[in-house]
Amino acid sequence: MAIILPFGSTPQPSQTPPSEQKPRQGSSRWVKVLGGGMIGFFLLGSLSFNYLDGWGSLPITGGLGLIIGAYTLWFWTQPWQVKLLGRLITIFISAVLLVLSSLFYNPFWELVPQRLNIINLGRPTAINLSYAIIILMFIVAIILALIHAKSREDSTEVIPAQSQKRYQHVFIDLNYIVVLLLGFMAFLVFMAMTPPKTPSTPSHTPVSGSIALLETALRPPAPAPSFTGRQGELKQLKEHLLSPTGATVGMVVLTGEGGVGKSQIAKKFAQEHQKHFEKIVWLPSENRSQIQKNLLQLADLLGLPPLSDSLRVRQVVSILSAQGGWLLIYDNADDGPSQLEGLLPSTAMGGRILITSRNPNWGQLQIPTLEVKTFATQVSVRFLNKLTSRKGDDDTAAQLAEFLGNLPLALEQAAAYIEQTAISYRNYLSLLRGANTLLPILEKKTVPHNHNRHSIASTWKLSIDKLAEQQQQPAIQLLNLLAFLNPDGIPLTLLKQIPNTQPHDPLAKLPQNSLALNDAVAALRSYSLIKVENEALTIHRLLQEVIRHDMDQEAKTAWGSATARLLKPIFLYDVKDSSTYPAALPWLPNLMAWFKQAQRLELHDPTALDIMDRSASLLRAMGNLKEAKSMAQTILTLKQKYLGADDLSIALSENNLASVLKTMGDLNGAKAGFERALIIDKKNFGDQHPNVANNQRYLALVLKAMGDLNGAKEMLKRALKIYKNAYGDHRSNIARVENALAGVHHNMGDLNEAKAGYERALTISTEIFGDRHPEVSRYYNNIAWVLQDMGDLNEAKKLFERALQISTKNYGDQHPSVALREDNIAGVLKEMGDLNGAKVRFERALQIDTKVYGDQHPNVARDESNLAKVLQKMGDLNGAKDRFERALKIDTAIFGDQHYRIATRENNLSGVLREMKDLDGAKARIARALQIDTAVFGDQSHKVARDLNNLALIRKDIGDLDGAKANLEKALNIDSRVYGEHPNIARDENNLALVLQAMRDLKGAKAGFERALKIDTRIYGNQNPKVAIRENNLAGVLQDLGDLEGAKAGFERALKILDNSYGPENPLTKKVRANLDKLLKQMASPAP
């Protein structure tokens, strides 16, 4: 029977005579020790070679090997069960080593020959030896397995003793050969697994297959001499590629749009960190074939044999994977991960990889990405100054940089033009702003120091061409649409509501469902042509220029009109009801971006014209007056050019432009525009058409603003008559005219007629719309106003609150109409003396308007001013001053510094400065207000009379009583001519009397106070708080005249009115009570 021995086993003593076993046993022990020592030497040597400074560690390695050899000797002298266990352990260790080797990017049989290079075997010898050893090892293992299997089948066969001995010797020798092979295999695997020394440490002598052979053919280009900024990006690259703790995968991708400077950053990083790498290789990577071509060039430099291209590429990747100390830069790998599949070496041995790409999608390879953004404006300014060698005009340089979107490549081309033409920043910016398209200007001059770089247009066209190659037509068509919208935010919801179109309509070429839209967006994003943030798309404005520049005129017009059709549903608000505007506000940036192109293209299709007409009103309501004026003028010009001067719709555009001019304070221009519209409508419709009445109503509002109240009143009466003849007594237009006419009566001081007119408007509107309609809310509000002026504060408060309730129900609690109602309630609370309640309401109104409009809107200025007034009443003069100044700043930014609203703000500031005893500051403010109102309204306006009143009071405080008297007499003369009997005249008489009282002209003062009291009593009735103020002032002068009883009666009447109107705790009530108490003490004192 044949006896088959396990690995490391020896013949049993019973099978062979002892005399024959001894020599064999002695030699076998030495072989065992040698085998064990070899295993220990190879295993530990591979580690110590890398970690203990190479061959200097041999004594330690040898000693440890002998220890392992002794252990092996002991292991092999144990009973057969232990020997069997030893064989199993040996096989297990071998399997573990093979598994560990498979964890690398490249198979073990490719790693082995590369790591052998480290011990300086020649490359052919290394390959042949390693392959031969591995093949031999597996052949022996197979033979032993077969013999072992055969022995088990023949286990009952008797084998002669001599044959047994011969077989035993063979088996023993083969076992030890296998042991030695396993030890050598362990050495190879550990050499492949252990990391190399740091890149900064010089490597071994260059041999075939070593990265030391890489020459300068693929060295990174130097960064541009004008390289500026990017310290944050360079720091992040350092953390990813050089930091021991930060480099988890040893790779990083710089992503960003074309022209943003990704390659420049990569070049700068390579330049700054050359010392950290043995070799840095620059691999242009526009496409996969170019990368493979560059890797084949590396194969030549590495001295690889002339095999097939694919095999040589794999060999290069394998060699680099097995070595460290290198940095590969794959530049412009814009097709993403698929472009580099199988072409990225492993970085486990210490190599590093830097990729630049427009494609941001690298998650599938788990490679970290760093987004390179456009320059910050201040960096752009430094960049421009460095390129042009200019200083001193940083403000204009900043404007230029922002106009070009802070894109480095665009700034570089702009600087080249500026440098070569010696043009100033300001003139170049004007040139760009005045151009219909920027590209011919930007690309007119080349970049002298970097002439090989792509231009802006070609940079982006490369990506668009790739989309075309991939047949991404929906994505390209989407790009065409985006070229006409806001580059900084195009809501995806807009692109999901494409209207039904005809096949020839450009909109029909767009993605027609959410899935297709997502695919198109993904395709554009993969080349960084767009970004997606917060459910909106962004696109660089210069990319938009490139897209439009490549369109012919017909395509531009088609896409411009298509964009108008896409936007139209958003702007179908009620032009006559500004409370419906807020829903369209978020879309204004896209509207304005489209309008800019529509203006250039002279779009005049019905949809485009309709959107422009509507949008002019929206922009006016938003306070964007310059844009509103531009839009209104544009559409008027387009209609006159393409529709003819007598087209019916021109009257509408004249009205829109006139409304903008009115809001801007150009009342004469507005009046002329409304008059032209009136002439057109009369010519087309006759004198009795409702369109004519509309124009008359608009014209009347301008006359009212100009102070021509009688002219406004007559114009509104004519309009009312036309409406009634056309519609009867119940029509919303009639309610609006009644409301406007009531407003004129209100301004004229005819409060009863004003109240009656507002009530008629309310009745008509309620019958038409019901009692919960926004228009009904407006009329409740106006009735409350007149009641407040009439002194019926409680009833006024009730109606204001009712108006608020209706507005809140219709619009929610964050709508501008709600803010207006809150303002009005706050006003009546302030007059009632509830200053804290008023402050809370004013603050709520300010919060709403700021949320809706932002902090630069006329409504916000109004809220700030109202809040300042209540703070002034509360004694917080510094707080009031800050609020008034804020309101002034907002209105100045919107209307300019010569608008009548600015005069109002200056008046308010003057009043608080007067209370703060800054009389010179107060006088300067009111002088400016007077100058503005005189310029806007003429020197006979009621606004001028107001300013003269306030100036007179300051002069009175200064002690210039004669000057104050002259100002007030002039104001009284103006108001008498404007109004006749009016509250403003009562104000003038009262203030003049105060000055006369200070001048000790007590009889003249008494007469003035009496006239003021008479006017206010006739207008407001004898229970109005304004009448109480007149009674108080008259009582004061009677006290000075010695008529104490008459003074006492006057103070008592005033106190009674104020008690009834405001209550006993109102500051004004307390002031009159103090006056009365002082008089009573005087009357109780004995006569001197």
Kindly state whether residues 236 and 366 are assigned to the same domain: yes
User: 281: which strand partners?
Assistant: 328
Kindly state whether residues 223 and 366 are assigned to the same domain: yes
Q: Which one has a higher pLDDT value, 149 or 864?
A: 864
User: 353: which strand partners?
Assistant: 251, 328
Q: Is the four-CA dihedral 888, 891, 896, 902 of positive or negative sign?
A: negative
CA dist list (Å): 271 to 774, 842, 907: 68, 61, 64
- Enter the tokens of residue 915: 């209370």
Whether 603 maps to a domain, the answer reads no
HSE-CB for 423 with a 13 A CA cutoff: 19
Kindly state whether residues 152 and 252 are assigned to the same domain: no
Kindly state whether residues 963 and 1019 are assigned to the same domain: yes
Q: Which one has a higher pLDDT value, 306 or 282?
A: 282
Kindly state whether residues 415 and 303 are assigned to the same domain: no
HSE-CB for 428 with a 13 A CA cutoff: 29
Q: Is the pLDDT of residue 105 over 90?
A: no
Kindly state whether residues 343 and 487 are assigned to the same domain: no
Sheet holding 490-491, edge to edge: 490-491, 536-538, 531-533
* Residues 40-65: tens digit of each pLDDT: 555 444 444 433 434 444 454 455 55
Whether 959 maps to a domain, the answer reads yes
Q: Is the pLDDT of residue 361 over 90?
A: no
* Residues 628-643: tens digit of each pLDDT: 899 899 999 999 998 8
3-state DSSP assignment of residue 112: helix
pTM: 0.64
HSE-CB for 596 with a 13 A CA cutoff: 19
The CATH number linked to 219 is 3.40.50.300
Give the domain-ending residue among 371, 389, 409. Answer: 371
Q: What is the mean pLDDT of residues 651-658?
A: 92
Give the domain-ending residue among 453, 481, 497. Answer: 453
Domain that holds residue 432: 377-453
Share of the chain above pLDDT 70, in %: 76
Q: Are 866 and 826 in contact, with CB atoms under 8 Å apart?
A: yes
* Residues 925-982: tens digit of each pLDDT: 999 999 999 999 899 899 999 999 999 999 999 999 999 999 999 999 999 988 878 8
Mean residue pLDDT of the chain comes to: 80
* CA proximity to 778, closest of 755, 792, 758, 794: 758
Whether 789 maps to a domain, the answer reads no
The span from the CA of 721 to the CA of 688, in Å, is 9
Whether 715 maps to a domain, the answer reads no
Whether 462 maps to a domain, the answer reads yes
Position 135 confidence tier, pLDDT thresholds 50, 70, 90 = low
Share of the chain above pLDDT 90, in %: 38
Report how many domains make up the chain: 5
The span from the CA of 6 to the CA of 172, in Å, is 9
Q: Is the pLDDT of residue 825 over 80?
A: yes
Question: Which pLDDT belongs to residue 59?
Answer: 54
Whether 710 maps to a domain, the answer reads no
The span from the CA of 223 to the CA of 263, in Å, is 8
DSSP 509: G
* Residues 713-739: tens digit of each pLDDT: 999 999 999 999 988 877 888 999 999
Kindly state whether residues 934 and 956 are assigned to the same domain: yes
Whether 408 maps to a domain, the answer reads yes
Kindly state whether residues 282 and 348 are assigned to the same domain: yes
Q: Are 336 and 441 in contact, with CB atoms under 8 Å apart?
A: no
Kindly state whether residues 920 and 986 are assigned to the same domain: yes
The alpha-helical segments, DSSP class H, found in 874-982 are 877-895, 900-915, 919-937, 942-958, 961-979
- Enter the tokens of residue 504: 């020839």
Q: What is the mean pLDDT of residues 787-794?
A: 88
HSE-CB for 582 with a 13 A CA cutoff: 17
Whether 743 maps to a domain, the answer reads no
- Rounded to 10°, the helix 649-664/667-685 angle is 160
Question: Which pLDDT belongs to residue 541?
Answer: 83
Question: Which pLDDT belongs to residue 104?
Answer: 37
CA 89, 91, 92, 93: dihedral to nearest 10 degrees? 90
The span from the CA of 385 to the CA of 229, in Å, is 13
* Residues 58-101: tens digit of each pLDDT: 454 455 555 555 555 555 555 655 555 655 565 555 555 444 44
The 3-state secondary structure of 635-652 reads HHHHHHHHCCCCCCHHHH
The span from the CA of 297 to the CA of 316, in Å, is 10
Top-ranked range on mean pLDDT: pick from 194-208, 324-338, 429-443, 880-894: 880-894
The span from the CA of 479 to the CA of 544, in Å, is 8
Q: Is the pLDDT of residue 152 over 50?
A: no
Question: Which pLDDT belongs to residue 471?
Answer: 86
Q: Which one has a higher pLDDT value, 831 or 148?
A: 831
Give the domain-ending residue among 511, 531, 550. Answer: 550
CA dist list (Å): 813 to 716, 829, 851, 877, 988: 34, 20, 12, 31, 41
3-state DSSP assignment of residue 87: helix
Q: What is the mean pLDDT of residues 696-703?
A: 94
Kindly state whether residues 84 and 136 are assigned to the same domain: yes
What secondary structure does DSSP assign to 744-795, as a single string?
A: HHHHHT-HHHHHHHHHHHHHHHHHHH-TTSHHHHHHHHHHHHHHHHTT-HHH
Q: Are 189 and 101 in contact, with CB atoms under 8 Å apart?
A: yes
The CATH number linked to 475 is 1.10.10
The span from the CA of 172 to the CA of 175, in Å, is 5
End-to-end CA distance of the chain: 157
Kindly state whether residues 312 and 421 are assigned to the same domain: no
- Rounded to 10°, the helix 425-434/408-421 angle is 110
Position 17 confidence tier, pLDDT thresholds 50, 70, 90 = very low
The CATH number linked to 1025 is 1.25.40.10
Q: Which one has a higher pLDDT value, 582 or 560?
A: 560
Question: Which pLDDT belongs to residue 416?
Answer: 80
* Residues 580-630: tens digit of each pLDDT: 677 777 888 898 899 988 988 999 888 898 888 888 888 888 788 888 899
- Element spanning 332, H or E: none
Kindly state whether residues 986 and 883 are assigned to the same domain: yes
Question: Which pLDDT belongs to residue 96?
Answer: 52
